[in-house]
Amino acid sequence: MDVCFSYFLLPILSASWTSITLWVVSAILAAGIGWSRYEKKKNRDKLLQDLAALTPERREQLLARLRPELQMEVRQQLMQRYGLS
């Protein structure tokens, strides 16, 4: 019985623990990625809200400091959400 257990059942148990460990690590990684995307979206929404509250001159000054790609994206979002240029 001991030979049968160690020869057949032990690899199955170790593979099972490996699978469980892999799934746990994957779940933690997925949660971290999801959380970072949530934080990015939350920060972007806060930036848009703050920019919408500014005067047009001040808004343009702040937008001029951003990278051109980000600047274009923020302008598009301001137009879509708040009707601002």
Q: What pLDDT does 4 receive? A: 59
Give the pLDDT score at 17: 77
User: Which pLDDT belongs to residue 12?
Assistant: 63
What's the CA gap between 59 and 63, in Å, rounded? 6
Q: Which residues contact 85 (CB under 8 A, 6 or more apart)?
A: 56, 75, 78, 79
Distant-in-sequence, close-in-space partners of 47: CB < 8 Å, separation ≥ 6: 74
pLDDT less than 70: residues of the chain: 1-15, 85
User: Which DSSP state fits 81?
Assistant: H
Please state the domain extents for the chain. Answer: 2-82
